[in-house]
Structure 1
Amino acid sequence: MPAAIATAWVLLIGVLLVQWLPQLPPRGCLGLLLCAALLLAWRRPRWRWPACLLFGMAWAAWHGAAAMKARLPRALEGQDIAVIGRIIDLPQAGSDASRFMLRVEQATLDGHPVALHGRVTVSWYDDAPALRPCSRWQLLLRLKRPRGLLNPGVADSERSALERGIVAAGYVRDDPDNTPLASPRWCVDGVRDAIARGIAARVHDPHDAALLQAFSVGDTRGLTPQDWEVARANGVSHLIAISGFHVGVAAVFGAWLALLAYALWPRLGLRLPRAQAQAAAALAVAGIYSALAGFGLPTVRTLLMIAVVALARCSRRGSSGAQSLALALIAILLFDPLAVLAAGFWLSFVGVLFLMLCLQARGRGWRAFVHELSAGQLVMTVALLPLTLWFFGQASLVGALSNLIAVPLVSFLIVPCALFGTLLLGLCPPLATPVLWLAAQLAHAHWWLLARMATWPGAHWYLPTVQPHALLLALPGALWLFLPRGVPLRWLGLLLFLPLLWPPRQVPAEGAFQAWVLDVGQGLSVLLRTRDHALLYDTGARYPSGFDLGEAVALPSIHALGISRLDMLIASHGDNDHAGGAEAVAAAFPQALRYAGEPARMPLPMRQCAAGQSWQWNGVRFRMLSPAYGAGDRDNDSSCVLLVEGRGGRLLLTGDITSKVEPQVAAALDAGPAPVLLVPHHGGKTSSSTAFIKALQPPLALVSAGWRNRFGHPRPEVLARYAEAHVPLFNTAEQGAIPLDFPADAAPRRQQGWRRRQTRYWRE
């Protein structure tokens, strides 16, 4: 094995080992380890591989520790901090706020400097001014450390924040000193924004313009959640914004430009060999195109590979594809070892690696090109299936066909046409309009086809959470399937997919049930499952920005837990933090029965829940205890109160009821074991009366609340009441999603919360 390939593998293993640590060693120890690794490799060449492994671990831990130290100090959370910073990337103006990324240059608190530098995600509510990329501002911000919702099947946003270098998140406070400052006259993001505005001005259909903006400069601000849903259903999300493949096409275009220049001026060959000129031109054009994409990871990976090949060509040295990939991997790990935390890192490198190992050249000409294109899409679909399910919890079975159509259409027609139009925007604006019109027509037809294919069976394919052993078996299984012809028993590679495709499911026994109090911030969503049925009680909020917790948390959790059918959806009452995501859940499971405490406030038809309603699933009884028939619209006190009774224990879901209704609920409970209690109204002061807690005597209480929420839930006086009654209380803000087991032959038990279940050094 060439040294570059072996070094890449060993360095990658060292970097990966660090990402499983719950805590990082002190930076002083890491500095000593780095020096020891370098000294060992220098003085003991035979120990170079252990030294490389040690270096990878120390280097990754050093970067991780530096990124964690750069986060906002905990003592400054919730305080108003005056910052001076520059807007990076492209700000997005929404219906409720403008959102942007700010690179902090200077921060002060009460006139004293604060150690805060790096990227901060900011929302500006209430009549935000027009914001431009590259502009510098003085702003008063209220910030907190990056903290996400932790649930089964939901992406870890805290890991993403670490990988992207985000040190805080917050919003702009009203202050007369919020003013723009002197800004640079030119920057790459400013050019991207100008091109995007130029496209919007010349393409009349906003959706077609949004597609061209994404293809041209990686500007996805105009795309809706429905657009991303279509892209995921077709497995073409990598083509929407500028992808690594597009950078490769740009490099080929640069090489063609150099070839054209030498054809027009042959004397150029006397000054510089044509091969070296083509390599340099390819790298230059690919670099410019990557800058238009904002230097995302897929583009940087491809750019590094092109740079390696160009350098080898310019130095007159040969370089195989595997060596180029290995050198690009080494370069990324040395530049940013935290890149291994991003899904794009693995999809990019594993995809290219499989193409190199599994595709064999079959001559030249259009037949060979068609074969490589079609076979390549099949290889990519099967090879990346395990990783796609691992990172996103879903895959597309129509992705191979979609990509077979989309890759040549986007990469060889739409993108070149759009880029030519953007070039004409600066050189000859009148000529840009017909070119962009042609690109828009192609994009429109392309998206029309994808929207139809997104409705085909198999476009959305979900599996329970992928276990590490299933992933490690499926990847070599995919490689085995596509080994060269003549290798015997290639079909046995399918057997290695079995743990991935048919994972074991832990289904409750007869008379038993399971519950998950999901982490939806300041809201509520509880998922219940018996042996053959499932029920979702509340869905979390939907915000004006379009972020929907029903879609972002409830549905992924349902799929990750292996639940393929939802039988009932209950919205306790009409408040947004309980019922905002109901539409998304109902759209995904239209067959589910729907009940609500305030049907008139719901955006979709739902039946009225009322005391006395009951049903039984698999030996588990469900009873509605409140509201009474004809109680009228009482807001929080209209909440559907549901009692779930298994053979071994009971669970009481209370919505947002107040102390006015609590006596009726307590009186409706018949003799039986004390129920596990979902704390009413997130622990608000108008609920959880002393009499209610004493009447129920719950063995366990759970509260669903947001971290550092503005209501102060759960209130200190409420916590004191539960503590006085010796009731253990657990909060989703601290635990993440909380699983509960109600066995048929044992007392209820709480499992470890999702935040504590897999501790990682980047977790708050």
Structure 2
Amino acid sequence: MAALAGCALVQAFPSLPSWPVLGAVALGASLCLLMRRWPGLRLPCVLLLFACWAAAHAIHRMEARLPRAWEGKDLVLTGRIVDLPRRRGADIAFVFQPLPRAGEPSIGGPLRLTWFRAPEPLLACESWRLVVRLRRPRGVVNPGGNDAERAALMKGIAATGYVRASPTNARLAQGRCVDGWRDAIGQRMDALLGPRSARVLKALAVGDTRGLDAADWDVARATGTSHLIAISGFHVGVAAGGGVLAARGLYLLLPWLATVMPRRVAQALLGMGVAMGYGLLAGMSLPTVRTLLMVAVLVLAAVLRRRAGGLSLLSFALLAVLVFDPLAVLSAGFWLSFAGVAFLMACVAPAGDGWRGRVIAMLRTQAVMSVALLPVSWWLFGSASLLSFAANLVAAPLVSFAVIPLTLGGCASLPFGPVASPLLQAAAALMGGLWRVLTPMASWPGAQVSVPDAGLCAVGLATAGAAWVFAPRGMPLRGFALLCFMPLLWPARESLPHGAFRAWVLDVGQGLAVLVRTRSHTLVYDAGPDYAGGHDAGAGIVLPAVTALGIAPVDTLVVSHGDNDHAGGAASVQRRYPGAVVWSGEPRRLRFDAVPCAGATPWAWDGVTFRFVDVPLPPTGKVKANDRSCVLAVEGPTGRLLLTGDIGTAAEARMATADLASPLPTVTTIAHHGSRHASTAGWLRKVHPRLAIASSGWRNRFGHPHPSVVDRHAAVGAEVYDTARSGAVRVDVPAQGEPSVSREWRRPADRYWRE
């Protein structure tokens, strides 16, 4: 536990210590640990040593990132494609490992690249010379959102970027590697079963999730079965168990083998061998490596003929993982896997005699895994499925004892086509039947339950309550353990007074999404872009933010106009909250019903007025899509928020001065992300903003916000914020007092991996 605490402690640092400081602390802790005079200092010294170990790894990975001076410049690099490239329409996303070459820049880690409109397919293991334009890993930062920069640190990604069109780009060699074998196996499975039927089996066999679409992942998350369709420690454990059973069967057939090697040792070694082979085919992802280390600890204990308790083996496995990769504590899978095993050891008694005892033990095991991990899942992901117990009662044994063995057996038999085909077809039939059961379950009540961000203390209390509920017989007052969940499910929230409101301009990259909250109502203005591959900012950023902030449900959705960077995520928000009133400047361009915002009647919530500012059409009636944007004014007693969409200079010129001018201090989103073709000096003099917020992407190709636009805002006394530099921005408009920016999610930096 001291080692775990040391590694976790470093992850809370806003900055990392220097190498000399780190060396001095490590030396002092080592000397203190070697001195037996003060045994009480042993655990603190272990904590410090592992904190130094984790910090050293973090410093090494941060220093391996792309030098800032190289950002935005064309670089010629020679390297090899690792993992499996993903095609998205005409574009290909892939991981590129640069190789040292004289005269080329030296980069200390893999690159995550996109080749837009790639001229030819890319294959794993190929060597290429490419002209690339890179930047350091950087993601959006929002309440409740995923942390892409943390994920890049955990995976050692040195930079992200794209391939430039150039005659220098050339394939140098085909190459052979494990990833190439994985790709070949996946293609054989597609040929035998068809891409649709093979998609889940490829994920189970070789970790190839390229065939799974957003709908597949939605079903898996809603039913709590994500761990079954993507290779994780669970599957590696099943493979190891298959190796153990194979060794046992071999010894039953050939008893004389016991004179060569004890059966227990042979079982452990064969289990490790099968798990290692499966891990290689799975791509050696971080969850796979963690499980292999845990299996290795069990094998070592068997080979050395040491009998150790479950808690001791779990502790050694944890220590092995932290020594191998102390930054594994950044992974959600790390906490779920070790917490799940710990709960099973603490709360599940050995199975009783007979089939009834085994069934009871199985039900209890599934209940522990489904309920006890709920608090951790809510903390890590913001939502969890209450259907996971029922779904996994069917899915877990079916996948573990039928689908995975058939799939692996079929893959091993691929060189013998007639043998592989029936095995893979049987696995596909079972998986298809399971999917037909899970798909309707994903729409049942309780499929995705979200809770507001309540903090680590509430999560810890709820986890303790779960352990209390499933504690062995004799533990008193089990019913009161459910009270431990209350701070997590119903956290304390600041209540806004009558007339006050709060707004969050979310960080969605090159797009716009704003949340507005009064005392008891929530409005969403735009929902960011739709990304390639079936993902969008509505599902990935807006909805998690609404949940984390505790401001659900959404009462009104305003889609300013139909462009992707504003409307791409709106469908996800509308599906989650179908009862919300929807307004839009271009309702015909949306995939769902909406009411035109032009000429709409103002309304009031909790002492705050909402009105759409009139943007007159020109005499011809023809305008650009941007100039059809709904412009929404939100007015309280002490301030005004003006949400401007993508209006340009022509629309600004047609707006009436009476609609723009206000005696209230004004906060505005900068029109069209800060384009130089918007926010004219005359329009700004009418609006006279005190605060202005641009929603733009980091180092975007448009140069937003344009320096001239920033200067024009400064000329009227506006303080300018940019989500590319600030992350999400919260604006408070109180019932008494002036509007102010109360928080920026990226500044000041509270984690060392943030750019």
Category of TM-score, reference length = shorter chain: over 0.9
- Range with greater deviation from structure 2 (485-494 or 388-397): 485-494
Q: What is the rounded CA distance, in whole Å, between the counterparts of 1:198 and 1:367 in structure 2? A: 43
Secondary structure of 1:570's counterpart equals strand
Q: Deviations over 1:28-75 (max 9, x none)?
A: 321332233223322347233222111011111111111111111111
Q: CA deviation at 1:758?
A: 6.0
- Tell me the residue number matched to 1:495: 483
Q: CA deviation at 1:632?
A: 4.7
Q: What is the rounded CA distance, in whole Å, between the counterparts of 1:179 and 1:44 in structure 2? A: 62
Verify: 1:63 aligned to 2:57, yes or no.
yes
Secondary structure of 2:79's counterpart equals strand
Verify: 1:164 aligned to 2:155, yes or no.
yes
- Tell me the residue number matched to 1:393: 382
- Tell me the residue number matched to 2:625: 635
- Tell me the residue number matched to 2:190: 200
Verify: 1:43 aligned to 2:35, yes or no.
yes
Verify: 1:708 aligned to 2:702, yes or no.
no
Verify: 1:678 aligned to 2:669, yes or no.
yes
Q: What is the rounded CA distance, in whole Å, between the counterparts of 2:299 and 2:578 in structure 1? A: 55
Verify: 1:433 aligned to 2:424, yes or no.
no
Verify: 1:233 aligned to 2:227, yes or no.
no
Q: 1:31 to 1:105 in 2, by over 3 A?
A: farther
Structure 1 regions of 5+ residues with no counterpart? 1-8
- Range with greater deviation from structure 2 (462-471 or 657-666): 657-666
1:540/1:580 contact within 8 Å kept: yes
2:661/2:686 contact within 8 Å kept: no
Give me the CA root mean square deviation: 1.7
1:517/1:737 contact within 8 Å kept: yes
Q: Deviations over 1:305-334 (max 9, x none)?
A: 221121111111112111111111111111
Q: CA deviation at 1:200?
A: 0.8
Relative to the length of structure 1, the TM-score reads 0.95
- Tell me the residue number matched to 1:548: 536
Verify: 1:562 aligned to 2:556, yes or no.
no
- Tell me the residue number matched to 2:727: 736
Q: What is the rounded CA distance, in whole Å, between the counterparts of 2:74 and 2:262 in structure 1? A: 60
Verify: 1:152 aligned to 2:137, yes or no.
no
1:97/1:128 contact within 8 Å kept: no
Q: What is the rounded CA distance, in whole Å, between the counterparts of 1:252 and 1:610 in structure 2? A: 65
Q: CA deviation at 1:565?
A: 1.9
- Tell me the residue number matched to 1:4: none
- Tell me the residue number matched to 2:753: 762
- Tell me the residue number matched to 2:79: 85
- Range with greater deviation from structure 2 (513-522 or 355-364): 355-364
Q: CA deviation at 1:606?
A: 2.1
1:611/1:628 contact within 8 Å kept: no
Verify: 1:648 aligned to 2:614, yes or no.
no
- Range with greater deviation from structure 2 (363-372 or 727-736): 363-372
- Tell me the residue number matched to 2:570: 582
- Tell me the residue number matched to 2:444: 456
Q: CA deviation at 1:365?
A: 4.5
Which of 121, 125, 139 matches 2:112? Answer: 121
Give aligned-pair identity as a percent. Answer: 48
1:188 alignment partner AA? V
- Range with greater deviation from structure 2 (35-44 or 409-418): 35-44
Q: What is the rounded CA distance, in whole Å, between the counterparts of 1:499 and 1:107 in structure 2? A: 57
- Tell me the residue number matched to 2:250: 261
Secondary structure of 2:609's counterpart equals strand
Which of 279, 291, 295 matches 1:306? Answer: 295
2:181 alignment partner AA? V
- Tell me the residue number matched to 2:689: 698
Which of 228, 233, 248 matches 2:237? Answer: 248
Q: Deviations over 1:442-471 (max 9, x none)?
A: 000101111111111000101111311111
Which of 327, 349, 352 matches 2:316? Answer: 327
2:57/2:327 contact within 8 Å kept: yes
Q: CA deviation at 1:611?
A: 4.5
Verify: 1:23 aligned to 2:15, yes or no.
yes
Verify: 1:32 aligned to 2:24, yes or no.
yes
Verify: 1:275 aligned to 2:264, yes or no.
yes
1:25 alignment partner AA? P
Secondary structure of 1:302's counterpart equals helix
Verify: 1:178 aligned to 2:131, yes or no.
no
Secondary structure of 2:100's counterpart equals strand
Q: What is the rounded CA distance, in whole Å, between the counterparts of 2:360 and 2:83 in structure 1? A: 39
Q: CA deviation at 1:675?
A: 1.5
Q: 1:671 to 1:210 in 2, by over 3 A?
A: closer
Which of 469, 472, 496 matches 1:484? Answer: 472
Q: CA deviation at 1:100?
A: 0.9
Q: Deviations over 1:619-665 (max 9, x none)?
A: 11111113237855432221111111112211111111122232425
Secondary structure of 2:705's counterpart equals coil
Q: Deviations over 1:563-602 (max 9, x none)?
A: 3322221111222111122222222222222221122333
Q: CA deviation at 1:509?
A: 2.1
Secondary structure of 1:253's counterpart equals helix
Verify: 1:516 aligned to 2:507, yes or no.
no
Q: How many residues align?
A: 750
Verify: 1:750 aligned to 2:738, yes or no.
no
Q: What is the rounded CA distance, in whole Å, between the counterparts of 1:635 and 1:183 in structure 2? A: 47
Q: Deviations over 1:139-182 (max 9, x none)?
A: 11111111111111111111111111111111111111211223
Q: Deviations over 1:311-360 (max 9, x none)?
A: 11111111211111111111111111111001000000001000000001
Q: What is the rounded CA distance, in whole Å, between the counterparts of 1:612 and 1:493 in structure 2? A: 51
- Tell me the residue number matched to 1:76: 70
Q: What is the rounded CA distance, in whole Å, between the counterparts of 1:255 and 1:330 in structure 2? A: 24
Relative to the length of structure 2, the TM-score reads 0.96
Q: CA deviation at 1:364?
A: 4.6
1:597/1:627 contact within 8 Å kept: no
- Tell me the residue number matched to 1:101: 95
Q: What is the rounded CA distance, in whole Å, between the counterparts of 2:162 and 2:192 in structure 1? A: 34
Q: What is the rounded CA distance, in whole Å, between the counterparts of 1:749 and 1:577 in structure 2? A: 27
Secondary structure of 2:507's counterpart equals coil
Q: 1:168 to 1:247 in 2, by over 3 A?
A: same
Secondary structure of 2:45's counterpart equals helix
2:5 alignment partner AA? I
